[in-house]
């Protein structure tokens, strides 16, 4: 996560986090080896000098900041400590400071990150007298297995709709199986280098487009402008694809894994895949097609069904590993596009108003591009992470996404 704000002081930041980290359990979870098995344990004291570091060589411009963020991806988090790190860039050439907050996905997904930021980073709202604590707020738990990195005891989860029905899982899996005829423009062996690009668009334009389509969601509009950006980018590279399949992560926090209402702690998510049509030049036509596709997957509870299926396959490790290889193949999807609802209202850190907020996620083997989206107030912010050896012009792709968002907004105003 990247946030830009007015000047932030490192010592004040450490002191603030120290006073509130008890309300942010994911920031205290550390892997520990017990009899050859990895478990999660809550660290009683966190060395904030090691977790909050300062990059104060010289003021960074926009390109320098993106380079610093890309470098953060190349650094592994210290597994002997809780799996997070904040790099403070105290001076930007355009004024203010930047925080580059790295968090391992095994501990926190995008939704949990927002809870942790509310608990330990954002200033308290004037109306509250205690640190704001989201679902991640809790005291130290007993040690837990690494398969369940526990943010906190949550309310009793809701049963997953039809998640326990084997046929439902098989139907969902059939929609996610690889298509041998599909070609991903981002398929290749990735290396350790990373490049990033940032795009910000008006949230209201995406919301109005969704409403105009009748039943569509903001996430449908996000997928629409991603499809439009890919279409424009491929045209510039003489590419001709009818569609690009994307993976859409779905948070399953608060949903019982087997539909029986049993409690479970930890970072838990699933996904569904959808083919983004590239041929319609009209963004509204694309939006309608994408909404139809996502509606089928939501009404069929594909994400829950896949989660339940993979849990059943866990009893047959070889079969589960085979299924995981199939579902992570570039023939199964080309790009992961995630979208998280961020703060609805302006937030501050140490009295400094956060002017920009971006989420970025790591790419994986044979998937040279990943797109993460987060909102802040009335802005919707896209963070693109890429392997520069396979995608050397990620900035150009970001520009094309922004251009398509502008065209979608214009189509709403002047249909």
- Which pLDDT tens digits describe the chain residue by residue (415 residues)? 999 999 999 999 999 999 999 999 999 999 998 888 888 999 999 999 999 999 877 899 999 999 999 999 888 899 999 999 999 999 999 999 999 999 998 888 888 999 999 999 999 875 444 443 333 333 333 334 333 333 333 333 444 554 445 555 677 777 777 777 778 889 999 999 999 999 999 999 999 999 998 889 999 999 999 999 999 999 998 777 789 999 999 988 666 554 444 334 456 789 999 999 998 889 999 999 999 999 999 999 999 988 988 899 989 999 999 989 988 999 899 999 999 999 999 999 999 999 999 999 999 999 999 999 999 999 999 999 999 999 999 999 999 999 999 999 999 876 6
> How many Cα atoms within 13 Å fall on the side-chain side of residue 153?
6
Three-class DSSP category at 355? strand
- d(CA 70, CA 60) in angstroms, rounded, equals 14
Quote the pLDDT of residue 171.
Answer: 75
Quote the pLDDT of residue 57.
Answer: 76
Sign for the CA dihedral angle at 325, 326, 328, 331 comes to positive
Q: For the chain, how big is the Rg over CA atoms in Å?
A: 21
pTM of this prediction? 0.88
Cα 113 to its chain centre, rounded Å, is 9
Quote the pLDDT of residue 241.
Answer: 77
Quote the pLDDT of residue 163.
Answer: 44
CATH 3.30.559.10 maps onto the chain at 2-145
Whole-Å CA distances, 166 to 161, 162, 169, 306, 320: 13, 9, 5, 10, 15
- d(CA 103, CA 106) in angstroms, rounded, equals 9
CATH 3.30.559.30 maps onto the chain at 160-413
In degrees, rounded to 5, the angle at the alpha carbon of residue 371 between the alpha carbons of residues 362 and 205 is: 150
Instruction: Please answer whether residues 23 and 133 qualify as being in contact, where contact means their C-beta atoms are separated by less than 8 angstroms.
Output: yes
- d(CA 309, CA 326) in angstroms, rounded, equals 14
Quote the pLDDT of residue 281.
Answer: 86
Three-class DSSP category at 311? helix
Quote the pLDDT of residue 210.
Answer: 95
Report the CATH superfamily, name and number, of domain 2-145.
Chloramphenicol acetyltransferase-like domain (3.30.559.10)
Quote the pLDDT of residue 257.
Answer: 55
| Residue among 50, 43, 53 at smallest CA distance from 21 | 43
How is domain 160-413 classified at the CATH fold level? Chloramphenicol Acetyltransferase (3.30.559)
Q: Across the beta sheet with 348-349, what order do the strands follow?
A: 52-54, 84-89, 97-103, 2-5, 352-358, 348-349
In degrees, rounded to 5, the angle at the alpha carbon of residue 399 between the alpha carbons of residues 238 and 388 is: 70
- d(CA 267, CA 83) in angstroms, rounded, equals 14
Q: Which helix (H) or strand (E) segment is 197 a member of?
A: strand 195-202
Instruction: Please answer whether residues 106 and 38 qualify as being in contact, where contact means their C-beta atoms are separated by less than 8 angstroms.
Output: no
């Amino acid at each position: 996560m990247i946030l830009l704000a007015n000047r932030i002081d490192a010592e004040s930041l450490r002191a603030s986090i120290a006073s509130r980290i008890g309300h942010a359990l994911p920031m205290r979870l550390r892997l520990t080896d017990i009899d050859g098995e990895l478990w999660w344990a809550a660290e009683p004291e966190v060395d904030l000098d090691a977790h909050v570091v300062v990059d104060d060589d010289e003021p960074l411009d926009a390109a320098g900041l993106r380079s610093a963020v890309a470098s953060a991806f190349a650094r592994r988090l210290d597994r002997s400590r809780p799996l997070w790190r904040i790099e403070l860039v105290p001076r930007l050439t355009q004024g203010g400071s930047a925080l580059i907050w790295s968090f391992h996905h095994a501990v926190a997904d995008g939704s949990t990150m927002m809870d942790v930021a509310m608990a330990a980073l954002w200033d308290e709202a004037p109306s509250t007298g205690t640190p704001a604590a989201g679902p991640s707020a809790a005291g130290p738990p007993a040690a837990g297995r690494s398969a369940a990195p526990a943010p906190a005891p949550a309310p009793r989860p809701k049963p997953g709709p039809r998640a326990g029905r084997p046929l439902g899982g098989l139907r969902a899996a059939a929609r996610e199986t690889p298509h041998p005829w599909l070609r991903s423009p981002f398929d290749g062996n990735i290396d350790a280098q990373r490049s990033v690009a940032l795009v910000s668009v008006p949230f209201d334009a995406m919301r109005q487009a969704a409403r105009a389509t009748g039943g569509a969601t903001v996430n449908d509009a996000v997928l629409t402008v991603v499809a439009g950006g890919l279409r424009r980018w491929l045209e510039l590279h003489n590419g001709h694809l009818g569609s690009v399949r994307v993976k859409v992560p779905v948070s399953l926090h608060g949903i019982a894994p087997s539909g029986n209402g049993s409690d479970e702690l930890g970072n838990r998510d699933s996904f569904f895949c959808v083919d983004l049509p590239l041929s319609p030049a009209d963004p509204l036509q694309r939006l309608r097609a994408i909404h139809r596709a996502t509606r089928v997957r939501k009404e069929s509870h594909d994400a829950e069904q896949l989660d339940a299926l993979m849990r059943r396959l866990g009893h047959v490790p070889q079969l589960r590993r085979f299924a995981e290889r199939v579902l992570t193949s570039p023939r199964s999807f080309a790009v992961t596009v995630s979208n998280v609802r961020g703060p609805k209202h302006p937030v501050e850190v140490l009295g400094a108003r956060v002017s920009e907020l971006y989420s970025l996620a790591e790419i994986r083997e044979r998937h040279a591009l990943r797109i993460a989206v987060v909102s802040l107030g009335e802005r919707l912010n896209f963070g693109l992470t890429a392997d520069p050896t396979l995608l050397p012009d990620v900035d150009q792709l970001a520009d094309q996404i922004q251009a398509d968002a502008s065209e979608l907004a214009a189509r709403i105003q002047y249909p």
